[in-house]
Amino acid sequence: MTRVFSGMQPSGDAHLGNLLGAWVNWVRMQEDRDCVYCVVDLHAITSPTEHEPERLRERTVELATGMLAVGVDPERSILFVQSHLHEHAECTWLFNCVSGFGELNKMPQFREKSAGKGESVSVGLFDYPVLQAADILLYHTDEVPVGDDQRHHIELARDIGQRFNHRFGEVFTLPKAVHPRAAARVMDLQDPTVKMSKSASSEKGIVYVLDDPKRIEKKFKSAQTDSATDIRHDREEKPGVSNLLEILAATTGRGVDDLAQEYDGQGYGTFKTAVAESVIETLKPIQDRHAQLVDDPGEVARLLAVGADRAREIAAPTLQRAKEAMGLLPPHAA
Ligand code: AMP
Ligand code: TRP
């Protein structure tokens, strides 16, 4: 069966973009693939400004709880916390020794995140893509569902795997990035020309997965549209309306054009209410499951422990093979 691996950083509250852009696919892929999903807390500590120990612990549990609530099924898939396996950090070291300073220095995300920070940039941030390569390659991953911004990181993982296999023998499966048709690329409700993101300047444009119905309604009612009244899909001319149409399409399962036809002429007020209602309805079962899980924290911890054990069953032998292929002396073999 096709093996899928994906990860998300515990670095903020999950929003509609995470749900419709990533999680909906994660859940769907469980139907016909062997999925491994990971809360990548070791990646989250590469940015000192966002790293607060107490918050990190909370957010790690929150993100895992969110993944379970949206429908990541621990019976079918593996869900675990990256730092629960030492194999990821250890494999990163092996990969560090087959990765070039030059290729890492060119990574667009590193360039972006380190810009203007001078000498204070951490080695961890520089090494971030190598850790990501370890995540992926330890599981013989075939497909990595990610946003387009991760393309270079997946290519690097492939390059590292290929280089390793070439030098030391076939150990790693070469992965490829897949960009499953996202339910939607969700834009900020206040500024529909930028992606909905936890780093937005205002909360008003972000709909969180755990927002209550009143707040969701308020956010959609004040969503930025334009001064015309027609409802049609045109990202250039009508970014606000188009974003709402896409959210409505993603949460109803209907087509954008079909919805545009239905709502055109009814005014933005009615349209926005319909979008809000559809989002509220989509989030309701997720929020209910989330509340149940929060009531039973022992259960989330138990599921994560099971997930870590199952992850280790795959990762540990892969790492062992890699170490032996590199000529590291197995314990007790001297
Ligand atoms: P981030 O919250 O940036 O760590 O992203 C985690 C995942 O959610 C990635 O797979 C992104 O592609 C996806 N994602 C984040 N924001 C959006 C958005 N506004 N629209 C669609 N997908 C998103
Ligand atoms: N870098 C990814 C992101 O920011 C998160 C991530 C870490 C990841 N390890 C991964 C994604 C492995 C896919 C596979 O979205």
**Which pTM value belongs to this model?**
0.95
Q: Are 67 and 79 in contact (CB under 8 A)?
A: yes
Closest ligand, as measured to the CA of 24: 1
Whole-angstrom CA distances from 155 to 52, 89, 170 are 31, 20, 18
**Do residues 266 and 300 make contact, with C-beta atoms less than 8 angstroms apart?**
no
22 Cα–ligand 1 center, Å: 6
Centroid of ligand 1 to alpha carbon of 8 (angstroms): 9
> Under a CB-based contact definition with an 8 Å cutoff, are residues 51 and 247 in contact?
no
164 contacts 82 by C-beta, under 8 angstroms:
no
Nearest CA to ligand 2 atom 3: 8
Q: Which of 163, 172, 189 is nearest to 321 (CA)?
A: 172
* 257 Cβ contact partners less than 8 Å away, ≥ 6 residues apart: 233
Of all protein residues, the one whose alpha carbon is nearest to atom 5 of ligand 1 is 18
Q: What is the pLDDT along the chain (334 residues), one digit of tens a residue?
A: 999 999 999 999 999 999 999 999 999 999 999 999 999 999 999 988 778 999 999 999 999 999 999 999 999 999 999 999 999 999 999 999 999 999 999 999 999 999 998 888 999 999 999 999 999 999 999 999 998 889 999 999 999 999 999 999 999 999 999 987 777 789 999 999 999 998 887 899 999 999 999 999 999 999 999 999 999 999 999 999 999 999 999 999 999 999 999 999 999 999 999 999 999 999 999 999 999 999 998 999 999 999 999 999 999 999 999 999 999 999 887 6
Residue 21 C-alpha to ligand 1 middle, in angstroms? Answer: 6
From the list 185, 187, 182, 163, the residue with the least C-alpha distance to 174 is: 163
